[in-house]
Structure formats: structure tokens, C-alpha cells
Chains A and B, each alone.
Chain A
Amino acid sequence: MALVLYAANTNKNAFKTLIAAEYYGVDVKLIKNFEMGVTNKTSEFLKMNPIGKVTVLETPDGAIFESNAIARYITRLKADNPLYGSSLIEYGHIEQWIDFATLEVDANIMRWFLPRLGFLAFPYIAPAEEFAIVAMKRALEALNTHLALNTYLVGHYVTLANIVLTCILTLGFSRVMTKNFTSAFPHVERYLWTMVNPQNFSKVLGEIK
């Protein structure tokens, strides 16, 4: 039976799981006709995730929320999945870069991006944006240095860390990070354009601009 993923079909956080599922043949289906603000407000949905956020994965054993947790679960479904590396230290580094991608890259992209949408919960404040951009640059600089010597984040093939980081960068590249901004980080650029092209990625992500 396919596992069912609840999210809109443009949700970068859902893509993490869909790509991880592609890699080693786990059957995950994105639910059809998901409507943000409607589907995720139903009482069935709130039973799966009480705070009503997407993404949620429905499994025969119960539901799981938090997109990275879902991607990790999917990855563990296959014993000794290479997406989790081939040693404990690789596993440690994969977790390190997943959290880095989430807390240093995604969080700062969001601190930059969300206030520009005019939501009340995220007021636009110029100096706050500047600090977000500075923190963003610091994270990308660190990545750029790491990727100068490494094709992938960890080891010599795609891991879950690559999947999480790439999905996050996809949003950044398509909404706030212009060429002018990213050109200071050539290894990150090379990395992203390499990553979005393998079949398992492009099948899910489509064409990124």
C-alpha cells in the first residue's frame, strides 16, 4: 500500500520526501486535490497534526508530521539505505548538514522571504532583513568552502542531506536569491544546478529557474 503524503504539489518540504522515496523505490503518493487552508483544517487532518501544518505522511501504523522527520522515516524504511551513508560518522555528518540546511539556510531564507509577503505574523523590518541576509551569506560561505572540495555534502554520492538542502535552496533560488546574490558562492551554484538535474530530482522538482 502506498504511503500518502498530504501537501500541495508545489511544497518544497514535500519534495524532500518524494525525492527520498524515488531513490530507493518506496511507494509514496502525494494526495490529490490537496487545498492549503482547507484540507489541512479538517478534523481528520488535525488528528494527524494538531497544529495543522503540512507536510503529513499517513502510514498504516499512524501519521507522521515534520517534513525532515518524514524524509528520515522514509529513508529508514529501507534497511542500510545509502541515503544515510555507509558509516556512523557519515550518518552524523548527514544529520549535521540536514540540520544546517534547515536552521541556517532555510530559516534565513524564510526570515528574508516571508516578511516580503506581508503576513502579519512576519512584519517587514529592514534591519531584521539585513541580519537575515548576513546570516544567510555566512551559511552560504561555509557551504561554498565545503563544496569547493566535495561534490556531495557527505561521501561520494547523494545522501538525504543533499535532498533536504537542494529542496531548500530551490525555494531560495526561485524567490529571493538572484544571480547577482548567488554568484559570490560559485560552488554552491555548481552544486545546486548539478543536484536538480539527476533524474530522481528533476522528476519531482521539474525545471528550476
Chain B
Amino acid sequence: MALVLYAANTNKNAFKTLIAAEYSSVDVKLIENFEMGVTNKTPEFLKMNPIGKVPVLETPDGAIFESNAIARYVTRLKADNPLYGSSLIEYGHIEQWIDFATLEVDANIMRWFLPRLGFPAYPYIAPAEESAIAALKRALEALNTHLASNTYLVGHSVTLADIVLTCNLTLGYSRVMTKSFTSAFPHVERYFWTMVNQPNFSKVLGEIKQTESVIPIQKKPAQPKELKAKPEPKKEAKKDAPKPEEDDIEEAPKPKAKNSLDLLPPSTMVLDDWKRLYSNTKSNFREVAIKGFWDMYDPEGYSLWFCDYKYNEENMVSFVTMNKVGGFLQRMDLARKYAFGKMLIIGSEPPFKLKGVWLFRGQEIPPFVMEECYDMELFEWTKVDLSDEAQKERVNQMIEDQEPFEGEELLDAKCFK
């Protein structure tokens, strides 16, 4: 009876097992009509793998999940399988390169690739991508050195380590690792193309093509019009003059040029004047700064917003909560010309509450801020109703970081200016 493998027919992790099965003459069938997000959410599937991830192998003795574990199991089904080497030390080295391929190669390819797809679970952060690319380069350099004097990873024939590494590299080559990136690792290149052309590999993998460009960063749908217009001419320019990927990544997402807020009718309120007044007022804050604020405030050109953190119950550690706010304000840097904000960390013991008041140019929270600063969605935003004196007074208290605030002590207050 054939063992049944649950995964889509494009899944590189399923390919590991299918290739190992080819080498070992074990009968493994990929299930037909697998639908990601459907098949793997059925109760039968969740019984096989409670976290619902693919691939899963169904055997007469029970199911196995985790792709490397499945590939190992299938390999062991054949006694003394040469895919596991011919000695204990070869076995040890095969396991070493399987784990290296998983934790140093695949993990870093994924840290590069996934954030570009726009999933909320993997936010795109330029410095994190850079460190992923640096770690990937370190791994490929180590591989390159090893493969300079070895045709295969271990011994003189294909082993399970080659299968796992090649499948992992396949995703890298087809999505993020361009020729200009991989050419620094000539022995890895030679190795990869040799491996994918082995009959047992190509039968499963089909034809592999190296990507011509790093997969672009996917934007969420709601995007201000002129930002959308920007990237396109850029892409063309890119084709003419290929640059190292890192540069592209740095440049791509920044909405520098013209901001739609600059096109709003001019306002009588000069944001920098207010920020200066705020910073320079050392005493009589109420009479000088707060009064000054309302004197300058232009309700046509600006709007005020309260924000309230949605997950206050998680703010259990004081310095972590303060760092959270610090990070938020850092990421708001892109709105420096259009915003002023005050964040309060409230309470004398955990859980701490995060609340704040923000002044934004325009009548809405600028879409590019919502877009680029993902912290925004962690807060509830409520527009301040200026006809309500109580709300106005709350604004005053927040700007002034008055203590106690709503009956509680303040742990800290941070200003964005």
C-alpha cells in the first residue's frame, strides 16, 4: 500500500520526501486535489497534525508530520539505505547538513522571503531583512567552502542531506536569490544545478528557473494613490541598471517624494511652532503651552485623535512596555512633518495601560502612516470631539502628562515631536 503524503504539489517540503522515496523505491503518493487552507483545516487532518501544517504522511501505523522527519522515516524504511551513508560518522554528517540546511539556509531564506509577501505574521522590516541576508550569506559561504572540495555534502553519492538542502535552495533560487546574488558562491551554484538535474530530482522538481529579481515587497491593498504610482517607473529603471538586491530593498518602500498631505490647503497652524513652544515651556505649562496650543490650533487643517492600546493585558513588564512605546515613536519618524503625539504609560503596577493623544495634519489619520507603521493597528483610534469640553480637557491632561491621570499614577510619558 502506498503511503499518502498530504501537501500541495508545489510544496518544496513535500519534494524532500518524494525524492527520497524515488531513491529508496518506497511507494509514496502525493494526495490529489489537496487545497492549502482547506484540506489541512479538516478535523481528519488536524488529528494527524494538530497545528495543521503540511506536509503530513499517512502510514498504516499512524501519521507523521514535520517534513524532515517524514523524509528520515521514508529513508529508514529501506534497510541500510545509502541515503543515510555507509558509516556512523557519515550518518552524523548527514544529520549535521540536514539541520544546517534547515536552520541556517532555509530559515534565513524564509526570513528574507516571507516578509515580502505581506503577511501580518511576518512584518517587513528592512534591518531584519539585512540581517537575514547576511546570515544566509554566511551559510552559503560555509557551504561554498565545503563544496569546493566535495561533490556531494557527505561521501561520494547523493544522501538525504543533499535532498533536503537542494529542496530548500530551490525555493531560494526561484524566489529571492538572483544570479548576481548566487554568483558569489560558485561551488554552491555548480552543486545546485548538478543536483536538480539528477533524474530522481528532476522527475519530482521539474525544471527549475532562477528568479531574475527578488520578489517585490507586497503592499496591502489600501494604499494612497500617488504612492502606488511611485514604484512602477522605478521597476523599469531597475531592469536597465541591475543593482545589488540590498540597495533595492532599502529604496523600494520609502514614500519620500511628494506626500498627499502637502497638497492640502495651507493651514494657519505651523506644526514646528507648536513643537517649539511645547519644548521650551518650562513653567506655567497650563497657561503658556496649553493655552498657546489652542490659540494656534487649526481645526480645518489638523485633527486630534485619542489612541488606546488593544492589548493592555500583555503589558506585564515595565521596561518592555516602555520599549514598545519607544519603538512605536521611532517608527513614526516618517510622520515627523505631519504629526505630534503624546503617549502615556499608566499604572503603578502591571498590567500597564497605554494611551495617547495625537495631532495629525488633515482630517483623517494619514493613510501612509496606517500603511507604513504597523503599530497603528494595535491601537483603537478615536477622533477627539472638540465640542465636548471633557474630551478637550483630557487632551490637555495628556499633553501636560498630568498625574494622577484618570486616577492612576504614570509610569512614564513619551512625546513625539
Contacts and interface: CB of A to CB of B under 8 A. Distances in A.
Contacts of A123: 125, 127-128
Most B CB contacts (10 A, CB to CB) among A62, A122, A124, A127 go to A127
A80 interface: no
Interface stretch (B88-96, B177-185, B214-222, B246-254): B88-96
Nearest to A60: B89
B184 to A, nearest CB: 15
A76 B68 CA distance: 18
Interface in B322-349: 323-324, 327-328
Interface in B65-83: 65-70, 72-73, 76-77
A121 B28 CA distance: 40
Interface in A117-145: 120-128, 130-131, 134-135, 138-139, 141-142, 145
Interface string B115-129: 000001111010110
A92 B70 contact: yes
B374 interface: yes
A38 B77 CA distance: 43
B375 A127 contact: yes
A70 B316 CA distance: 38
Contacts, number: 142
B123 A64 contact: no
Interface string B25-69: 000000000000000000000000011000001010110111111
B138 interface: yes
Nearest to B138: A51
Given A62-B89, A127-B123, A99 B375 contact: no
B92 A103 contact: no
Interface residues of B, number: 59
Contacts of B314: 130
Contact of A72 (B50, B92, B100, B139): B92
Contact of A127 (B77, B91, B96, B120): B120
A99 B62 contact: no
B104 A124 contact: no
Contacts of B87: 61
Contacts of A203: none
B394 interface: no
B320 interface: yes
Interface of A: 50-51, 57, 59, 61-62, 64-70, 72-73, 76-77, 87-89, 91-93, 95-96, 98-100, 102-104, 107, 116, 120-128, 130-131, 134-135, 138-139, 141-142, 145-146, 178, 180
